[in-house]
Structure 1
Amino acid sequence: MEVSKRVPMARKEVGSKGEPRQLLANHFGVCLVKPKDDIDGYFYHYDVAMSYEDGNPVEAKGVGRKVLNQVCETYVELRNMSFAYDGEKSLFTLGPLASQRLQYPVVLEDVSSRRVGKNGNPAESPKGGYTKRMRIRHQFRPKTINVDIKYAAKIPLQAIEDALRGRDSEKSQEAVRVLDIILRQHSANQGYLLVRQSFFHDNRRTCTDIGGGVQGCRGFHSSFRVTQGGLSLNMDVTTTMIVKPGPVVDFLLQNQSVQNPNYIDWTKAKRMLKNLRIRANGVEFKISGLSDNTCRNQKFLLRQKGTNGEVQEREITVHDYFTRQKLIGLNYSADMPCINVGKPKRPSYFPIELCEMVSLQRYTKALTNLQRAQLVEKTRQKPQVRRQALEDALRSSRYDDEPMLRSSGITIEPNFVRLVGRVLEPPKLIVGGEKSIIPRNGRWNFNNKKLYEPLMIGRWAIVNFSSRCDTRLLIELIRRCAAAKGMTMSNSLFDKVIEEDGCFIREPPNVRVERMYAKLRTTLPHEKPHFLLCILPEKKNSDIYGPWKKKSLVEEGIVTQCIAPTKINDQYITNVLLKINAKYGGMNSYLSVELCNSIPFVSAVPTLILGMDVSHGSPGRSDVPSIAAVVSSRCWPQISRYRASVRTQSSKVEMIQSLFKPVANTNKDEGIIREVLLDFEITSFKRKPQQIIIFRDGVSESQFNQVLNIELSQIIEACKHLDEKWDPKFTLIIAQKNHHTRFFQANARDQTNVPPGTVIDNTVCHPKNNDFYLCAQAGMIGTTRPTHYHVLHDEIGFSADEVQELVHSLSYTYQRSTTAVSLVAPICYAHLAAAQMAQFMKFDEHSETSSTHGGLTSASAPLVPQLPRLHKQVINSMFFC
């Protein structure tokens, strides 16, 4: 019998616990007045196809709007037509076009160049080779593009009224999508950079330098949302990274942190510059690469007409062409490669000093740790500043002047939506000596208190890769702080600091790690240490980290803690000890309700809690596998102790592929869930979980059905495979941080963030689905970003208050810190486990490796390399903590 498709569950009720609090949300109410009389009450949807004369489709990115604008300028019947175009294949109008199918040929300058020079005349560029040079006069020849506009459907404006009443239907979703496309069209007409529903303008006041030739460009997000309170416009301040405009050489100097062009690594430069856009001689081009030779030596065949009218050919260098033929002086680029803006087989070169980076060009490479820190530091805004910025953005956007919005009768309220939130009481924590702590403002400390389960570490040593760390002071502080927290760091067996020999610091990281372990064995030949404290070089993102963790956790089975101390004090060491104790098997604190077995549903019945996340490689690295991490609770009825299972999978695939993994022609299952269930049985009095609560991070609303019908189904299959008679209940909760709803205190004089524990499940939440926002953390810097939780499936039967309090409590079980965290601890641990295991492999070399275990079945796709299995002595530890 076919199993019916699961859909997100509907909301049964709203919560009532907590102190009511008047709040504002960055949503603006939408009203619908009577549309203009000449409007027939429908949005008309048309499919748009563009092709060249030879029938090949136009695929160059960003060309669609340029072509459609040309159509409207050329043909009278479209000249005064208001439309919304998504930039690709969909066009929307208010009222029908003249015919259900319209075909227009338009003449457009070569789509490879974005702008033309003075008087509309593009500049020439030198080509390599005979046939390439012949193309110079034709490169900018206008091209004919055929535009085919075909009627697809019509969407009633009545659907917007449904959205205004808080009704979410397929038609209302289509109508809201049209409204969002209208906003995009409005911003495109004003010259904004469009990034989905976020818009950025070229304005020096909105750009801030974050180093490496990269700027953070502040803009605003703007989208319509169907909520319990009706249709609203959600606006938020947002930032994207752009390439710093200016000379290409200046960008490379900053990007590679060098002072002199002679020190530029041109191999790195080639990777960095590929597909970026430059301006040369007044024309924009996309970079395809760099020349193999320097400007002084790079040659091409120049064809010119002689005095007798005959075409003459001679070889000339790019340098001589520009200095002698074009009379353009070159000051410093003669011995640098040229910028290639042509095709691989038809190169087209410019000296690098004639090239400038164009403005508003997105930077999509991964940021360094320093750049991330700079971005956070320079773009954060206090709540009151953010409120003012949003009010200014709404005012300056002038949506009331947008023709299609105005014609369809839509108006936007100028004030923030008001709502009532609730502030939940923080959970009571139990620490050493059964002492209780009640967190204040989402924080607590261990001053004059001991850890709940402090451990004695009998054999430990320090390995030191840093030449600047005073290890004597460090050892003294560790022992003193450990004693104060109830931990024992014994010095009876080992009191050793193994220093790296200075002559090896320029060796590759893996070589340095092997040498350090060889020295460790020589220094401590008879007994292996239980724990190693590793002092990394001064920089936090040290290359030593990955090889050291892999060697320790995979091959040696030793618990290890890495530090890169700049300031060593009691607070720093205490924070380090919290991580060490949790990794080594101890517990720093518990929830009081956890120890009293009084968590609704969870304490009464064996319950497994899972945190699941998928981590992807940096943008543009499709060759890097994604990493799926599943952390699972242990030792029920505890909910604060976890282990992790981490696997690689196909690049950029969001659904976890290894939850249930039957082996062909056997009765075996090598999936993550079987591993998790067997561990739960071992640590929970040989009882299977009767309830499984799943927290899933990193998925968008469009992927909810996949999580419900693919991942949850795999988990259920894994359970049935283990025991056919076993039928646990499931609750599935999605956590989202990547959204644009923010909350503010309603009192204008109160410029602080909303207090920790603030929960909202009304007004701006989904009109039908079971969702809520929670600000568990104390927002000390900038404006608090709430976590948006969606309860997609609940067989256990939590009430609204019970599920909200469970989520809130799990934000206080994170063993690494003494603050409530913004996401439930299981998801935070899944992030950490995936990030740490990612350091184990050199993914940039993986395409040359292969694996018969877990590889892709497609013959054309590369095999996905497997992560090494952790040593049996650490596999069940909180190594990721």
Structure 2
Amino acid sequence: MVTIPDFEEAVEAPVSPPDVLPTMETEQIALPTSSIISRPGVGTTGKHIPLLTNLFKVAAEARDAIFFQYSVTITSEDKRVVESKGFGRKVIDRLHQTYSSELGGKSFVYDGERTLYTVGPLPDNKFEFKVLLEETFSFPKGSTERPGVNGTPCEENKRTKCSFQSKAFTVEISFAAKIPLQSIALSLKGIESYANSQDALRVLNIILRQRAANRGCLLVRQSFFHGDSRDIIDVGGGVTGVRGFHSSFRLTQGGLSLNKDVATTMIVKPGPVIDFLLTHQNVRETRHINWAKAKRILKNLRVRATHRNQEFKIAGFSEKPCIQQLFSMKIKNGEDNNTEQTVDLTVYDYFAKHHDIELTSSTYLPCLDVGKPNRPIFLPLELCTLVPLQRYRKALSPVQKASLVEQSRQKPQERIKILTNAIGNSCYEDDTVLAACGISIDKQFTPVDGRVLETPKLKVGKNEDCFPNNGRWNFKKKTLLEPSHIDYWAVVNFSAICDTSFITRELIKCGMSKGMNIERPYTLIEEEAQTRKLNPVARVEKMFDLLISKLTREPKLILCVLPERKNCDIYGPWKRKCLCEAGVVTQCISPLKITDQYLTNVLLKINSKLGGINSLLAIEHSGHLPLIKDTPTMILGMDVSHGSPGQSDIPSIAAVVGSRCWPLISRYRASVRSQSPKVEMIDALYQPLNDGNDDGIIRELLLDFYSSCNRRKPTQIILFRDGVSESQFNQVLNIEVNQIIKAYKHIGEDDVPKFTVIVAQKNHHTKMFQANALENVPPGTVVDTKIVHPKNYDFYMCAHAGMIGTSRPVHYHVLLDEIGFSPDGLQNLINSLSYVNQRSTTATSIVAPICYAHHAAAQMAQFLNFDDLSESNIPIPELPRLHKNVRTSMFFC
């Protein structure tokens, strides 16, 4: 694969554009609201190709069927509302078994929370039932093996949230709404709005979730995982991937369909907690365990106490080891059983005296705390095992990611076989609720007509044409279109195993073959051996001080040889030092794979960062881009990256890249900000200050466009937005686009630019397969009929060549098109934008502006150590701004 390695980034040295435009206050601007446009037509260009998709046609015969929605409240004997989904399902299951006749023999569809559905009404609109569970569903009565606070066993101290002490529950059911199944058919015919069918679709999807829950599956939205040993992928570190299936009902032009696909999620390896910690932290002895890290990993996971076979949720650890940790316990007073006394016991003594268990391996280890903040419950580690099918919510290491990809990839024909077997064995016809709706599901893949768009031609050095083959090209015997000249640069080496003299000679030699004139480096700095034991920030500071002492002027480039690989702890501090403080372009390389191809990839990145151009679209090079060549047009790529699911308290990173040097569409600059955790809408597009100025992202990019385009302002904006769901489309149109308009007006413009707004989604489960071939669909494959939205303007495109596994097309949604592209024109523009990524010699699966925004966010996120910050109580600082010398560079390449 010839995609440029991820190990670098950079910056160049142009000065940021002057603030040449007048400003004005526009706080009270009245902005229009926009609605999502309908499909204007379909594309016709390209070679037609027969395809299969993993959508299965659904027939609903009982068109007069009506779902009745009921609100459910479950309370225990002490009037506590039951919130646990798993426990709620057990109560409702028992209710159905006990009171089936009173409920008219109706089958339930329960969402696990506060709503259930039936096909047709229940006998009454309101019910109240008493439900009894066996002791296996609640904690055993009189249990004393869980040391609590003040010495009272958990069942006897009347703690409200320790467990459900009673076995009796009150279930209240009351009618809420009617949802006709026919709304789906009516919306497809255009008689009712598409929104009216969403409630019925939601109920159908809840039926699928309930089926999976009844089989004991792990539910992750609409993906279900059973945990069969044949579906387990061990990726190391106590973490395994588990294969399952995504199943969801969807509305398409062709009618109601079931989307079924292979899915994978990560789970912690079940078994003894101590074994998991040793494996996860890659240590051999418990004395080497990092307990702060262990707490982050284990918090909220469930364990089973082996001495009583009960489950608990982990809250943390005890402050002291098991043999020292005291708790208070009430015991009967001698022969007089009517009085009690309070005694203090260690957890170790408690288990020895009351359970005849002599602890061994966890004696000097902290206990698990499975209680509440003010009432801990301590369990020795050696008596606790992690229960199966628990999601692992932390980020995988690079080694784990590589292992997962290697073991989970499936070729197209293999995936077809797996899905064919899955749909054949699903037994949907046996489901009583689906049967009551008259639902039947075809077992054949849906055929669809695809088109393969023409591959765009590229221009490289010496005005040569370059014709990509199967979405790929290379620079063998070719030169860069606009190579940079590197006359004064330096090399720093953090690696103890690397010959930097060899690397620089090979880099200069490779650059010469690509048309880049690279002089010998002015200085080459090796890290001193004694500094390698310092923390990463100190190592970077020492290296930089040494470098500055050797230089006579500001270098054009600093080449940094990392200790091992990009994902080392030097990377973030080094990038921050160069890009934010020094204002110098830097390129990081790995010392482990110095090959000609690797160095070529590195040179592509260096050239882009220094303002050079590796290649352009031929139509871009000639200045003949339709609808763009005659009107100043700015292309924006927007993305927000969030912390891993287990990092709920670290900021999200919003990145926007904007095109520059119109009429080119291959040159970009980025603007990045931090914002509130898990917030998807970008809140810094327009950011008015107290003095009336705007410090937002869009103003920064607009000024740069103005400066780089001979003082021309964009009158057209093509916006590509990544990472938003269908429910957020209106927010993109009416919040984010309006913020862009505000920023535009704030620089003194009365006219509003024309917008074309496109959302790109990769997180979906629609796959396309060639009907008559074993390999992936060819690059440039587009589908805009039959399997697309019944009304809105969307299409699927697979712009890249899938070399490994099964290709995933990008689902593009056109929300607004004031510029007026034809379907063919827009699809060809998007396909072409997959060939302009300057760091790659393959067509990217998604348009380059979105790739750049993703890279910019990921790189600048490493400027802060979020793992350390999330453990502290101090506010997390904002991301540092780039130095003015590198602000306009493509540092994200």
TM-score, normalised to structure 1, is 0.94
CA distance in 2, matches of 1:346, 1:78: 41
Please show how residues 669-748 of structure 1 align to structure 2 within 5 Å.
669-747=694-772
Query: How many Å apart are 1:128 and its aligned residue?
Result: 4.2
What does residue 638 of structure 2 align with?
612
The aligned residue for residue 290 of structure 1 is 317
Q: Is the contact between residue 212 and residue 219 of structure 2 (CA under 8 Å) also seen in structure 1?
A: yes
Q: 1:560-639 alignment to 2 at 5 Å?
A: 560-639=586-665
What is the aligned partner in structure 2 of residue 836 from structure 1? 859
Conserved 8 A contact 1:122-1:282: no
Deviations 1:714-764 (A, max 9, x none): 1112212223432311100000000000001112xx211001110010111
Separation of aligned partners in 1, 2:421 and 2:768:
17
Which residue in the other structure is 1:26 paired with? 54
Q: Residue in 2 aligned with 1:274?
A: 299
Residue 454 and residue 4 in structure 1: after superposition, are their counterparts in 2 closer, same or farther (change >3 A)?
A: closer
| CA-CA distance at 1:527 after TM superposition | 1.7
Alignment of 1:848-867 (within 5 A): 865-867=877-879
In 1, Cα distance between equivalents of 2:435 and 2:745: 57
* SS of match in other structure, 2:92: helix
- Per the alignment, in what secondary structure is the counterpart of residue 152 of structure 2? helix
Deviations for 1:490-510, whole angstroms, at most 9, x for unmatched residues?
12xx44210000101111111
CA contact (8 A) 2:498 2:591 kept: yes
8 Å CA contact retained: 1:534, 1:563:
yes
1:6 and 2:34 matched: yes
Matched position secondary structure for 2:840: coil
TM-superposition CA deviations, 1:233-270 (whole Å, max 9, x none): 00010011111001111110111111122211222212
Give the partner amino acid of 1:25. T
Q: CA deviation at 1:49?
A: 2.6
What secondary structure sits across from 1:754 in the alignment? coil
> Following superposition of structure 1 onto structure 2, how do residues 360-759 of structure 1 map, counting pairs within 5 Å?
360-491=389-520, 494-524=521-551, 526-664=552-690, 666-747=691-772, 750-759=773-782
- Per the alignment, residue 195 of structure 1 pairs with 220
Q: 1:125, 1:136 within 8 Å by CA — same for their partners in 2?
A: no
Q: 1:73 Cα shift?
A: 3.0
- Label 1:721 to 1:300 Cα distance change in 2 as closer, same or farther (>3 A): closer
Q: Which residue does the alignment assign to 2:70? A: 46
Task: Give the CA deviation at 1:642.
Answer: 0.4
Matched with 1:858 is none
- Any conservation in 2 of the 1:339–1:349 contact (CA below 8 Å)? yes
Q: 1:134 to 1:448 in 2, by over 3 A?
A: closer
Look up the match of 2:20.
none
Which structure 1 residue ranges, 5 or more long, are not aligned?
851-861
Paired position in structure 2 for 1:855: none
The match for 1:152 is: 176
Residues in 1 aligned to 2:882 and 2:184: alpha-carbon distance in whole angstroms? 55
Alignment of 1:757-776 (within 5 A): 757-776=780-799
Per-residue CA distance 1:514-547 (angstroms, 9 max, x = gap) = 10011112222x2221100001111431111111
**Partner residue, 1:871:** 883
Name the counterpart of 1:853: none
Cα distance in 1 for partners of 2:149, 2:657 equals 59
Question: What is the root-mean-square deviation of aligned Cα atoms in Å?
Answer: 2.2
Distance in 1 of aligned mates of 2:248 and 2:878? 41
1: CA distance, partners of 2:152 / 2:567: 46
> Match of 2:674, SS?
strand
Counterparts of 1:134 and 1:246 in 2: how far apart (Å)?
A: 25
Query: Where does structure 2 lack aligned partners over 5 or more consecutive residues?
Result: 1-28
2:350 to 315, 318, 321: 321
The residue identity in structure 2 corresponding to 1:713 is N
Conserved in 1, the CA contact under 8 Å of 2:151 and 2:330? no
SS in 2 for 1:790: strand
Aligned residues of 2:76 and 2:166 also touching (Cα < 8 A): no
Name the SS for the 1:62 alignment partner.
helix
Task: Give 1:814's aligned amino acid.
Answer: N
8 Å Cα contact 1:163/1:226 also seen in 2: no
Contact between 1:777 and 1:819, CA under 8 Å: does it hold in 2?
yes
CA distance in 2, matches of 1:121, 1:418: 59
Residue type matched to 1:842 in 2? N
Q: Is the 8 A contact 2:143 2:155 kept in 1?
A: no
**Superposed, which structure 2 residues align to 1:73-92 within 5 Å?**
73-76=97-100, 77-78=102-103, 80-92=105-117
Secondary structure (helix, strand or coil) at the match of 1:439 reads coil
Does 2:808 match 1:788?
no
Summarize deviations over 1:177-229 as a string: whole Å, max 9, x none: 11111111111111111111110102111111111111101000000110011
Structure 2 vs 1, CA of residues 663 and 300 (structure 1 numbering), >3 Å: closer, same or farther? closer
**Structure 2 CA distance, aligned partners of 1:97 and 1:848?**
51
Q: How many residue pairs were aligned?
A: 855
Task: Please name the residue that 1:101 is paired with.
Answer: 126
Aligned AA for 2:445? F
The CA deviation at 1:628 is 0.9
Given that 2:834 and 2:843 are in contact with CA atoms closer than 8 Å, whether structure 1 keeps it comes out as yes
User: Which residue is equivalent to 1:857?
Assistant: none
Q: CA deviation at 1:94?
A: 0.4
Tell me how far 1:22 sits from its aligned partner.
Answer: 0.3
- 2:45 pairs, out of 1, 4, 17, with 17
Partners of 1:166 and 1:442 in 2: CA distance: 39
Q: 1:165 to 1:184 in 2, by over 3 A?
A: farther
Asked whether 1:62 is paired with 2:86, we answer yes
Could you tell me which amino acid in structure 1 is paired with residue 90 of structure 2? K
Question: For residues 67-116 of structure 1, what are the alpha-carbon distances to aligned partners after superposition, in whole Å with 9 as ceiling and x for unaligned?
Answer: 22232233242484211111122211001112112222434579xxx956
In structure 2, do the counterparts of structure 1 residues 126 and 57 end up closer, same or farther at CA, with 3 Å as the change threshold?
A: closer
Distance change (3 Å), C-alpha of 1:34 and 1:140? closer
- Alignment check: 8 A CA contact 2:69 2:116 kept: yes
Letter in 2 for 1:235: K
Identity %: 55
Residue type at the aligned position of 2:786? T
Native 8 Å contact 2:103 2:123 kept in 1: no
Query: 1:812 matched to which residue of 2?
Result: 835
Distance 1:121 1:744, change over 3 A: farther
Q: 2:277 aligns with which of 226, 237, 252?
A: 252
How many Å apart are 1:616 and its aligned residue? Answer: 1.1
1:125 equivalent in alignment to 2:153: no
